[in-house]
Amino acid sequence: MDFTFSEDQLLFQESVRDFLVNEVTPEKIRELWQTESGRSDALWAQLAELGLTGMTVPEQYGGLGMNELDFVLLAQEAGYVALSEPLVNSVLVAAPLLIEAGNTQLADEWLAKMASGEARVIVGLEINKLVEDAHCADLLLLEKAGAVYAVNPAEASLRENKSVDPGRKLFAVEFEASTAVLLADGEQAQKLITRALNRGALGVAAQALGLAQRMIDLSVQYTSERKQFGVAIGSFQAVKHHMANIAFRLEYAKTPVYRAAYALANDLKTSSENVSHAKLVACEVADLAAKNSIQVHGAMGYTWEVDLHIFMKRAWAFNSNYGTAGFHKQRVATAIFNDGAQLGAGKTF
């Protein structure tokens, strides 16, 4: 029994955090908001250079051959800077789906390009209705009517929808099945879709942890500087308790997320239930962080100029991404209210 990350995993997290905090600054994010695609090829190339785009790509294709557990802390850091490049979905959803779909021709064609950063492969699951980042896809993997297809973006029509979060690019995507490669249908497709959904939800959950931490940091900094009644507002207990309430809950959202990553990496039977628990509590703590952070910022928090909204809006969008709270509660309920459920002391592991 060892519920800690390895030194390598922690070092990787640290170096990725340093990189992201330096490169993906709020100023940079605002610049990208002004561009047509909202995405940066230069940044994508840097992420590839760090090995990040190939984290879950097998070594034979030039990737690092790592798993969900190796990536979860990095996804957390991506959340901390509200990264908009499709890194988390690429690593956790697209590459594993491409591998598990079992089409060697497609795998051979695309996995190496994913690792090198040459190509972005984008997945669209029906649970999300719209497809994030479809506009920058070199290959689309799409769920449609219970089947999974590989779609050439040139054969798809995109209709852009604007999100409250200017960093999120969302598209309704239409395509004719006849122009696409059928990867799976029936039971096999169901299996692929559930696994992709679980990984996507894990990615959202991990990023939500990072978002919550960022909002705490911004608020602590702001309330230590802003003065009213002659003192820093952060010295008022009502303000402190707003922050403490986020911080203690965050500690109890992290471990369910790490356990979910472990469950996926080890293909445990409890994966779906574990992911749903993680997604629920991580999004809740990010949501609470948004609520309490805007409050302690006063009117400043309600403005476009102050950076807080970059993170707040991402947290709001994440609430229903890769499954609403209702969807995930239903999965937890199924697991714990069934008659053979293993509950109580000593049944966790």
Partner 1 sequence: MKLEYTEQQNAFREEVRAWLKANVPAEPLKSFDTEEGFQQHREWEAKLYEGRWGMITWPEEMGGRGADLLQWLIFEEEYYAAGAPLRVNQNGIFLLGPTLMEYGTEQQKKRFLNGMATGKDIWCQGWSEPNAGSDMAAIRSRADLSEDGSHYIINGQKTWSTRAVWADWCFGMFRTDPESERHHGLTFILVPLDSEGITVRPIPQLDGLPGFAEIFFDNVKVPVDCRLGGEGDGWSVAMATAGFERGLMLRSPARFQETARRLVELYKANQQSADEDSNIRDEVMRAYMDAEAYCLTTYQTACRLMQGGKIGAEASTNKIFWSELDQRMHATGLKILATRGELEPESPDAGEVGKWLDGWLFSQSGSIYAGTNEIQRNIIAERLLGMPRK
Q: With contacts defined by CB under 8 A, name the span among 17-25, 33-41, 112-120, 251-259 that binds partner 1.
A: 251-259
Rounded CA-CA distance 93/75 in Å is 12
SS (H, E, C) 255-323: HHHHHHHHHHHCCCCCHHHHHHHHHHHHHHHHHHHHHHHHHHHHHHHHCCCCCHHHHHHHHHHHCCCCC
User: Contact 113/90 with Cβ under 8 angstroms?
Assistant: no
Strand order in the sheet with 157-162: 131-132, 169-174, 157-162
Rounded CA-CA distance 117/124 in Å is 20
Can you tell me which of 145, 154, 231, 299 binds partner 1, judged by CB under 8 A?
231
Residue 89 CA neighbour count, 13 Å, CB half: 22
The nearer residue to partner 1, 243 or 288, going by C-beta atoms, is 243
The nearer residue to partner 1, 154 or 238, going by C-beta atoms, is 238
Q: Does 252 bind partner 1 (CB under 8 A)?
A: yes
Q: Which of residues 320-349 bind partner 1 (CB under 8 A)?
A: 329, 332-333, 336-337, 341, 343-349
**Min dist. Cβ of residue 267 to partner 1 (A):** 13
Rounded CA-CA distance 343/340 in Å is 9
Q: Which of residues 34-53 bind partner 1 (CB under 8 A)?
A: none
Q: Which of residues 196-225 bind partner 1 (CB under 8 A)?
A: 216, 220, 223-224
The nearer residue to partner 1, 170 or 239, going by C-beta atoms, is 239
φ/ψ of residue 209, rounded to 5 = -60, -45
Cα dihedral angle (53, 63, 77, 50), rounded to 10 degrees?
Answer: -80
Q: Does 226 bind partner 1 (CB under 8 A)?
A: no
Q: With contacts defined by CB under 8 A, name the span among 28-36, 54-62, 247-255, 313-321 that binds partner 1.
A: 247-255
The nearer residue to partner 1, 186 or 346, going by C-beta atoms, is 346
Q: Does 2 bind partner 1 (CB under 8 A)?
A: yes
Rounded CA-CA distance 309/167 in Å is 11
| Alpha carbon of residue 119 to chain centroid | 19
Q: Which of residues 50-79 bind partner 1 (CB under 8 A)?
A: 69
Residues touching partner 1, count (CB under 8 A)? 50
User: H-helix or E-strand containing 172?
Assistant: strand 169-174
The nearer residue to partner 1, 19 or 327, going by C-beta atoms, is 327
The nearer residue to partner 1, 181 or 220, going by C-beta atoms, is 220
Residues at the contact surface with partner 1, assessed by CB under 8 A: 1-6, 69, 216, 220, 223-224, 231-232, 234-235, 237, 239-241, 243-245, 247-249, 251-256, 258-259, 262, 277, 280-281, 329, 332-333, 336-337, 341, 343-349
